[in-house]
Amino acid sequence: MSRNGSIALIFHTFFVIFMVAPILVVCLVAFTPEGYLSLPTNGFSLRWFRTIADYPEFINAFWVSLWIGAVSSVVALLFAVPAALAIARHQFRGREALSALFLSPLMIPHVVLGIAFLRFFTQAGLSGTFIALLIAHVVVVFPFALRLTLAAATGMDRSVEMAAVSLGASNWTLFRRVTLPLILPGVVSGWALAFIQSFDEVTMTVFLAAPGIETLPVRMFLYIQDNIDPLVTSVSASVIVITMLALILLDRFYGLERVLAGHSDRGR
Amino acid sequence: MSTSASVTAAQESAVPAPGKQERSGARAPWPLLLPALILFVAVVIVPLAMTVLLSFHNWGQYTGIEFVITLKNWHEIWSDPYFYEMFARTFRIAGLATLIAALFGAPEAYILNRMRAPWKGFFLLIILGPLLISVVARTLGWALLFGGNSGLVNKALMAVGVIDGPIPFMFTEAGVVIALAHVMMPFMVLSVWAALQRVDPQIENAALSLGAGQMTIMRRIILPQIMPGVLSGGIIVFALSASAFATPSIIGGRRLKVAATLAYDEFLNTLNWPLGAAVAVLLLVALVLIIVGSNAIIERRYSEVFR
């Protein structure tokens, strides 16, 4: 393959600046020693990171996000793994339609999902509860859990399973000792991607959040609507750093390209 | 809302055909599927149906939601120019963001693809990584860059001499378009990248050996082959931009309403749920029609590429 010319490299430089600038500026402003929004020109300060501790609503929202993300991804997998095995291994009528249904949360705008869930959970008497938020997140992350599990189940070598069956393994033993270990990389990365999706979700969650059960992005969003100050930049910078760390771990253990391939046509 | 209408490489592998040794009985393995199916009927289909029904209910300032069937909300959206303007703005912003993403994302994907080993992976991480960073944090970055008349973007543009005085980005459509293009850019790069993986570099070399110039190769060899990737990426970016919420809300402010932020206002400020539901349902229907329609056109036009 031929190399890029100088025009291409100049274009590339500007493109990278465009992509990185907004993220970089958040991280820089977070270190300002001043009491207002400014780039740190007179040295770096951690005062705004220390200030986060004085705002329990951000700390609380962080824990809510962590719990919702972790639990909803596990619950989604409990539903998605059997469904993925069925879709990967059986040819049956309605298979395409069923897959479309299971992947539909990618296509439905999250604002529509938020409204539908708000109406549904209000009628069900569950509005403003943790369980409502959890169920909503299970639905939204389900396609990601399904997709990566499906990819693993499709690429799996079935001969090991047949050997196990011929040696008299029961269905449960077969799943626990043979199938699950073989699809585990897909399941784990499905969990990771589902967790990140849940952790980032704001549009749908903003409809369901209530004081005390707000996720971190929702808390940040509502805060920004009132005013933008260095505090919210230090919170955002923390979120960016945490995401970057997760990203690097994911890249090391599974390969970012494979994860993002399952990500490529989602609807936020 | 069909996955069969999908076009990217990743989507094609979404529902792979079962291997040869599988049984191809017509009976579905219901015990495995039923839990997920019940979940989806109960908490996706039922709530969506309730939302459609809600859009036909009446609402009064003092009475709240009245359980009657009326076309009032739909008539209001149809006849009030405010809604026409709002939907036009929504799709105009989405269209421009898509255009910017295509014009810059597609060449960048091509350049990335030609890079050598360590740089390729590094820049791919830099460009696709933001996809996983909270959209609120990314939009906050743009709010800081735009920040009134003395924002960094204006300072930089004036220093270079592109503009004489500061141009307002906050609370304007231009600002929303730029921020949205940034938020959606990774999807476009990813989509074109996927298309490029299927391009045989030998074709380019063949053209080169037959005496084609760089421009000819670009126009006759590369562009036709990555066009499906650009178009499917465009559909994704358009759909996500038209239903975006956080970015138009933060950059656009309270006055510059788009469909998603208007629906939010009706639900959580005005409390006119039926009208908000009608706006949301209309957005959903419009997007589904646009996505399914353009997918069908692309698939027919580029059927040979996908074979």
| Core vs surface per residue B73-107: b (16+ CB within 10 A) or e | bbeebeeeeebeebbebbbebbbbbbebbbebbbb
Per DSSP, the residues of B120-132 read HHHHHHHHHGGGG
Say what the pLDDT of residue B306 is: 52
pLDDT band at residue B215 using 50, 70 and 90 as cut-offs: confident
Asked if B216 and B207 touch (Cβ cutoff 8 Å), the reply is: yes
- Would you call A36 exposed, middle or buried from its count of C-beta atoms within 10 A (0-12, 13-18, 19+)? exposed
Asked if B120 and A188 touch (Cβ cutoff 8 Å), the reply is: no
User: Would the CB atoms of B201 and A105 count as touching at under 8 Å?
Assistant: no
The CATH number of whichever domain residue B90 belongs to comes to 1.10.3720.10
Among B245, B250, B262, B269, the strongest candidate for a mutation testing the A interface, having the largest count of A CBs within 10 A, is B245
Residue B249 forms part of a structural domain: yes
Size of interface A-B (CB pairs under 8 A): 323
Q: List Cβ neighbours of B56 (8 Å cut-off, separation of 6 or more).
A: B69, B70, B71, B73, B74, B274
**Does A41 reach chain B within 8 Å, measured CB to CB?**
no
Residue B27 forms part of a structural domain: no
Cα torsion B108, B113, B117, B120: sign: positive
Lowest pLDDT segment from A128-132, B20-24, B220-224: B20-24
Token readout for B149 is 């008349």
- Residue A35 backbone dihedrals phi, psi, to 5 degrees: -90, 5
Lowest pLDDT segment from A200-214, B13-27, B170-184, B278-292: B13-27
Residue B302 forms part of a structural domain: no
User: Would the CB atoms of B35 and A86 count as touching at under 8 Å?
Assistant: no
Among B6, B7, B15, the strongest candidate for a mutation testing the A interface, having the largest count of A CBs within 10 A, is B15
Residue B10 forms part of a structural domain: no
User: Would the CB atoms of B15 and A96 count as touching at under 8 Å?
Assistant: yes
Residue closest to B173 by CA, chosen among B95, B269, B266, B103 = B95
Mean pLDDT for the stretch of residues B21-36: 73
Residue B215 forms part of a structural domain: yes
Say what the ipTM of the complex is: 0.89
Most confident of A178-182, A262-266, B96-100: B96-100
Say what the pLDDT of residue A253 is: 74
Compute the mean pLDDT over every residue in chain B, rounded to the nearest whole number: 86
Asked if B282 and B86 touch (Cβ cutoff 8 Å), the reply is: no
**Does B117 reach chain A within 8 Å, measured CB to CB?**
no
Say what the pLDDT of residue A90 is: 87
User: Would the CB atoms of A260 and B125 count as touching at under 8 Å?
Assistant: no
Residue closest to A183 by CA, chosen among A68, A75, A83, A66 = A83
Mean pLDDT for the stretch of residues B234-257: 94
Compare CB distances from A123 to B15, B27, B50 and report the shortest one's residue.
Answer: B50
Mean pLDDT for the stretch of residues A161-177: 90
Q: Cβ contacts (< 8 Å) between B35 and chain A: which residues?
A: 78-79, 82-83
Place of tokens 């009927």: B41
Q: Cβ contacts (< 8 Å) between B187 and chain A: which residues?
A: 264-265
Q: List Cβ neighbours of B266 (8 Å cut-off, separation of 6 or more).
A: B272, B273, B275, B276, B279
- Closest residue in chain A to residue B280, using alpha carbons only: A112
Instruction: Provide the CATH number for the domain formed by A55-261 in this structure.
Output: 1.10.3720.10
The count of structural domains within chain B is: 1
Mean pLDDT for the stretch of residues B44-49: 96
pLDDT band at residue A261 using 50, 70 and 90 as cut-offs: low
pLDDT band at residue A44 using 50, 70 and 90 as cut-offs: confident
Sorted by where each begins, the domain ranges of chain A are: 55-261
Mean pLDDT for the stretch of residues A211-226: 93
Residue B201 forms part of a structural domain: yes
Which H or E run contains B65? strand B64-66
Say what the pLDDT of residue B76 is: 92
Rounded-to-integer distance, Cα A236 and Cα A61, Å = 13
pLDDT band at residue B222 using 50, 70 and 90 as cut-offs: confident
Token readout for B227 is 């066009």
User: Would the CB atoms of A200 and B135 count as touching at under 8 Å?
Assistant: yes
Per DSSP, the residues of A220-267 read HHHHHHH---HHHHHHHHHHHHHHHHHHHHHHHHT-HHHHHHTTTT--
pLDDT at B197 over 60: yes
Q: Cβ contacts (< 8 Å) between B288 and chain A: which residues?
A: 107
Per DSSP, the residues of B46-64 read HHHHHHHHHTTSEEETTTE
Quote the pTM value: 0.89
Say what the pLDDT of residue B305 is: 56
The range of the structural domain enclosing residue B145 comes to 33-283
pLDDT at B124 over 60: yes
- Closest residue in chain B to residue A148, using alpha carbons only: B14
**Does B55 reach chain A within 8 Å, measured CB to CB?**
no
